[in-house]
């Protein structure tokens, strides 16, 4: 078990915002923005890069850029599985193997002939792809109950 698995008190609000955007609002672009903000300010951990690229992958996919989604997922998957091999299966309450498995499952529903191309958004939506849910700890889910997204940039902070 990782040292941060159950310690939610020090979870950065931007990571919680990433999780909220991923699991609740399904806004993968905004999810990426919060993840990238955190990644840039905290030493650029490759596990965070994997989560960010996972969100970007889903953003590309839902917009019909299947080729871009698969390429992004290949990179994200490597970062995430490298973390698992070195540090364990959990990161801040997220089961990385479950995260990987859910996105892999999504790609099994995409026709292989689309893998190298861009298709219409309507074609993607017609597939009724499963939505990843993430296996989050109860403590993380509990924080969503009264959660509001923090300012993304310093100039958005309230005086």
CATH number at residue 25: 1.10.3450
Is residue 158 included in any domain, yes or no?
no
Question: Residue 128 pLDDT more than 50?
Answer: yes
Is residue 30 included in any domain, yes or no?
yes
Task: Give, in order, the Cα–Cα distances in Å from 42 to each of 14, 46, 85.
Answer: 11, 11, 22
100: number of Cβ within 10 Å = 18
Number of domains in the chain: 1
**End-to-end Cα distance, the chain:** 40
Is residue 154 included in any domain, yes or no?
no
Query: Which domain does 88 fall in, by range?
Result: 13-145
Spatial CA neighbour of 126 closest among 62, 71, 72, 69 = 62
Is residue 4 included in any domain, yes or no?
no
pLDDT tens, 63-102? 999 999 999 999 999 999 999 999 999 988 788 999 999 9
Is residue 8 included in any domain, yes or no?
no
pTM of the predicted protein model: 0.86
Is residue 98 included in any domain, yes or no?
yes
């Amino acid at each position: 078990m990782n040292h941060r698995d159950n310690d939610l008190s020090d979870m950065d609000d931007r990571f919680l915002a990433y999780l909220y955007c991923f699991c609740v609002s399904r806004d993968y672009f905004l999810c990426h923005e919060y993840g990238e903000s955190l990644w840039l300010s905290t030493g650029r951990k490759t596990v965070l890069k994997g989560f960010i690229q996972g969100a970007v992958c889903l953003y590309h996919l839902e917009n019909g850029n299947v080729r871009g989604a698969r390429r992004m997922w290949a990179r994200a998957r490597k970062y995430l599985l490298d973390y698992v091999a070195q540090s364990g299966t959990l990161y801040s309450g997220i089961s990385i193997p479950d995260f990987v498995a859910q996105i892999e499952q999504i790609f099994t529903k995409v026709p292989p002939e689309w893998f190298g191309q861009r298709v219409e958004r309507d074609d993607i939506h017609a597939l009724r792809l499963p939505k990843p849910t993430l296996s989050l700890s109860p403590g993380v889910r509990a924080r969503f109950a009264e959660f509001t997204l923090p300012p993304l940039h310093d100039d958005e902070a309230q005086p």
